[in-house]
A = this chain, B = another copy of it.
Amino acid sequence: MGEFDLIARYFQRDGQVPGVDVGIGDDCAVLTPGTGTQWLVSSDMLVEGRHFLSTVEPARLGHKALAVNLSDLAACGATPRAFTLALALPRVDERFLAGFAQGMFALADAHGIALVGGDTTQGPLNICITVFGEVPNGQAILRSGARPGDDLYVSGTTLGDARLALEVFRGTLSLPGEQFDSVRRAMELPQPRVALGLALRGIATSAIDVSDGLAGDLGHILRRSGVGATLDADALPKSAVLAAQPVEVRREMGLAGGDDYELVFTAPASAREAVQRAAEASATTVTRIGRIEAEPGLRLVDAGGQALPLRLQSFDHFKTP
């Protein structure tokens, strides 16, 4: 099967999506923005062994490749509109392609977005997705808007679960079968918090999605906003699996696990009710975990308010953990 047959069989679909005037099949896709909107763009590249293991089901990989990109749109409060896919494959593997496309399109359909273009080539497995989203002018939630006195929140209860699964694969941790299935789902099928991001528009002062670990990614908000924070390490939401781990593991995984795709965000203390309504409207739990302060840097405390040492390192793609 050649390149064009492959695209036609697995990636080209009929049907019009609003705002997409020309999709796959021309030199470029042609998109029409709404009136008074800005376009948001994000691009993520997934490499075997770094972002996924060779053991992953193709459908889960297709889901995850799109999910991690949608998570960036979610962090900005954007409505997803379209995406491109560039794919390098060692060979044409029909089982892989069928599964990958199924998982990717299931998530795309859930968000009403279209694959509008891209590229396929032969090479070491590599998946590069670029997503496009839209916000009304000036309403994107940025990393730079946190202010002293703001509350600090995190979404969901999966923080640290993906890292638990990774440690099982690495052989440094062992979990009963059901617990492993649960954390493996968190690692392989992350749910981008798009609905929460949309609901937080006009409420959150800043946000970021957690891909390299909560403490490290929060650091980006603090630096871009020129503020600091105190974070209660024991207030982090935990899955039942993580809650069953020793306290040191709980803190380490929650604060520096990585691959979480929850949203960390800030909002004024006066907006606590609005945050709760946004959480309910998007059927996503949110947990208050700390406070933004004028003093730069991140300070960790335990449930009793005692300072904890900060010796966590977030995931860096050019360092081997």
| Chain B proximity of A259: nearest CB distance (Å) | 13
A143 touches which of B26, B84, B126, B128 (Cβ 8 Å): B26
Dominant secondary structure of chain A at its interface with chain B:
strand
Once bound together, how far apart are the Cα atoms of A143 and B121, in whole Å?
A: 22
- The answer, yes or no, to whether A319 is at the interface (CB within 8 Å) is yes
- Given A22-B140, A123-B50, A124-B126, also A31-B41 (CB < 8 A): yes
Counting every copy of the chain, the complex holds 2
Q: Which residues of B contact A207 (CB under 8 A)?
A: 27
A39 touches which of B30, B47, B144 (Cβ 8 Å): B30
Q: Are B76 and A26 in contact (CB under 8 A)?
A: yes
A1-31 vs B: 1/0 string, CB under 8 Å? 1111010000000000000011001111111
Q: Are A50 and B121 in contact (CB under 8 A)?
A: yes
Question: Which B residue's beta carbon lies closest to that of A144?
Answer: B26
Once bound together, how far apart are the Cα atoms of A78 and B78, in whole Å?
A: 25
Question: Which B residue's beta carbon lies closest to that of A123?
Answer: B47
- Residues on A close to B: CB < 8 A? 1-4, 6, 21-22, 25-33, 37-45, 47-51, 72-73, 75-76, 78, 82, 84-88, 91-92, 116-124, 126, 128, 130, 132-133, 135, 137, 140, 142-144, 207-209, 224, 316-319
